[in-house]
Chains A and B, each alone.
Chain A
Amino acid sequence: DVKVTQSSRYLVKRTGEKVFLECVQDMDHENMFWYRQDPGLGLRLIYFSYDVKMKEKGDIPEGYSVSREKKERFSLILESASTNQTSMYLCASGTGYEQYFGPGTRLTVT
């Protein structure tokens, strides 16, 4: 069974803090993705990576950066958290066919 894990289920941070969201997959997938999910907006792609140290911007990259130093790990970084980044963050991995999602991190920025 493919397993995608995320470092936290719930996170509360203050405005201006630097926030790290970690994602690990155990299936040796090339591709990893970060989405945010907001009511009525579906899943919006923030960044994705198709290889170690490679990254591509998704549809809403502003205010975010990513890091992929190892194949199994993909980190999402909020350099200076803002209240409009309060959301559910979902990580996914895949080979180019289906995507496997992690359980999500609900981030609240106060």
Chain B
Amino acid sequence: GQQVMQIPQYQHVQEGEDFTTYCNSSTTLSNIQWYKQRPGGHPVFLIQLVKSGEVKKQKRLTFQFGEAKKNSSLHITATQTTDVGTYFCAGRKDTGRRALTFGSGTRLQVQP
């Protein structure tokens, strides 16, 4: 079945440093979503990418969808303590498929 791998599993950075998490799918995706889960909270939708090579920005967050639509990345510039949490990618294999396959997540810790 479809697998979505995410690395690293954990990253600890100093406040102000950059952070990147990578997501790789074993199959081509129709779209990919990113979610953030704060400690003790539930996943919250951040963004969806659909087009090959698409890049989207949300303030300090940059999301990228690979040309082959099998990988994606989330880059945070100048991390802040509010960025702490676990970031999940979630891929949808077929356009009509309602279910997402989630990656294992990257837990980000930011040292003030």
Contact = CB atoms under 8 A, between A and B. Distances in A.
A100 interface: yes
Contacts of B104: 40-42
A101 B100 CA distance: 13
A83 interface: no
B42 A90 contact: yes
Contacts of B85: none
* Chain A contact patch, size range: 20 to 34
Main secondary structure of the interface of B (DSSP, over half): loop
A103 B43 CA distance: 9
Interface stretch (A12-20, A44-52, A64-72): A44-52
Nearest to B103: A42
Given A31-B98, A40-B9, A50-B98, A98 B103 contact: no
B35 to A, nearest CB: 8
A100 B43 CA distance: 8
A96 B6 contact: no
A48 B98 contact: yes
Nearest to A104: B42
A97 B6 CA distance: 21
Contact of B42 (A33, A50, A59, A101): A101
Contacts of A31: 98
A98 B99 CA distance: 11
A96 B98 contact: yes
Given A41-B104, A43-B105, A101-B44, 13 more contacts: A40-B9, A40-B104, A42-B105, A43-B43, A43-B88, A48-B98, A59-B101, A90-B42, A96-B98, A99-B43, A100-B45, A102-B42, A103-B41
23 contacts: A31-B98, A40-B9, A42-B102, A42-B103, A42-B104, A43-B90, A43-B102, A43-B105, A45-B99, A45-B100, A45-B101, A45-B102, A48-B98, A58-B99, A59-B101, A90-B42, A98-B48, A99-B33, A99-B43, A99-B45, A100-B45, A101-B44, A103-B42
